[in-house]
Amino acid sequence: MSDPVQHTLNELCVLADLPVRTVRYYVQHGLIDRPVGETRAARYGAAQLEQLLLIKKWSAAGVSLERIRELLQGVEADVPARARQAGAVEVHSHLHVADGLEVVIEPGRAQLSPEQVRAFTRGVMALYESITKGKTK
């Protein structure tokens, strides 16, 4: 047995916080893997739960079901950035370089991974240090 944790359809829906009808739609249209077994004996595992949570996250971000299907199948392409709208919540990182000098980073919009953000931060700090090194206080 490759996936020891098994859930009924109702249990899966509770875990994913999705209606039964939606999960059945996703199975029917091949967005999530088919369960093991049929009808009431059907069992869903961690893989299907993970697929549902990804679909839910991407749907909330405005990604189409067609694009979600491609992403789940491993087709690599950038998810287009959504236009800024009034009332939208954005996450920013603020790099305090020195008094009066701050860099605002929006990793999602800049398409930077956490590792790239850390490398950028180190680079900015090194550049600032090299610029101000000869400056007398």
Encode pLDDT of 82-128 as tens digits. 677 788 777 778 899 999 999 998 887 788 888 888 899 999 999 99
| Residue 95 φ/ψ, nearest 5 degrees | -100, 110
Q: For the chain, how far is it from start to end, CA to CA, in angstroms?
A: 68
The pLDDT tens digits for 11-41 are 999 999 999 999 999 999 999 999 988 877 8
Give residue limits of the domains in the chain: 9-72, 93-132
- pLDDT at 80 (0 to 100): 60
Per-residue pLDDT, 1 = 45
Q: Tell whether the torsion through CA atoms of 102, 86, 17 and 20 is positive or negative.
A: negative
3-state helix, strand, coil in the chain (%, to 5): 50, 10, 40
With vertex at residue 88, the alpha carbon angle to CA 83 and CA 89, rounded to the nearest 5 degrees, is: 120
Whether pLDDT at 78 is above 80: no
The 3-state DSSP class for residue 32 equals: coil
9-72, what's its fold?
Answer: Multidrug-efflux Transporter Regulator; Chain: A; Domain 2 (1.10.1660)
